[in-house]
Amino acid sequence: MSKVYTHNNTHKLVSQLKRGDQEVYRKLCTQHFDQFYRYILNSVKSKRLAEQILEEAYIEIWQNRASLDVSVSFKDQLLKLVEASVFEILFNAGANEFLEDEIWQYIEKAQNTEAATADTDQDPILKVIQNNILQNQLLNELATTRR
């Protein structure tokens, strides 16, 4: 049975990770994978993108392990990276053709139900995404008509 790491030994674990302990790194990544994957998937609505974001966050943690803050848990440091990546992707989604269709489908699906419509109207992230997509579409149309 694998050891579950708790908050009580987080300083020790981050310190070991900072020194390059690959076993601690693997166990911490495995321990937090499901929770972070679900969080990311709920935000970006794409399995492939959720996996990519989490993989990149894990790589960044490992590559920058020497600068980890031993007073902050692995989970909190990973969360900071994941949240920044998710926000950046959602904010720039209008410029990304791959995400644009998926996000529009999500918005349309959300607007087809009464409860989701209320959430969509109140969700500031969705409003930013919608505005960003519309703005990019208008700029593309303007550029096309000027040719």
Residue 98 has pLDDT above 90, yes or no: no
Going along the chain from its start, the domains and CATH numbers come out as 1-90 (1.10.1740), 92-147 (no CATH)
40 neighbors 48 (Cβ within 8 angstroms): no
In the chain, the amino acid numbered 104 is W
Q: What is the pLDDT of residues 118-133, one digit of tens each?
A: 554 556 666 666 777 7
* Tokens 């593309």 sit on residue: 140
43 neighbors 88 (Cβ within 8 angstroms): no
1 or 133, which is more confident? 133
Q: What is the pLDDT of residues 44-88, one digit of tens each?
A: 888 999 999 999 999 999 999 999 999 999 999 999 999 999 988
Choose among 67, 57, 64: nearest CA to 88. Answer: 57
Whether the model clears a pTM of 0.85, i.e. scores above it, the answer is no
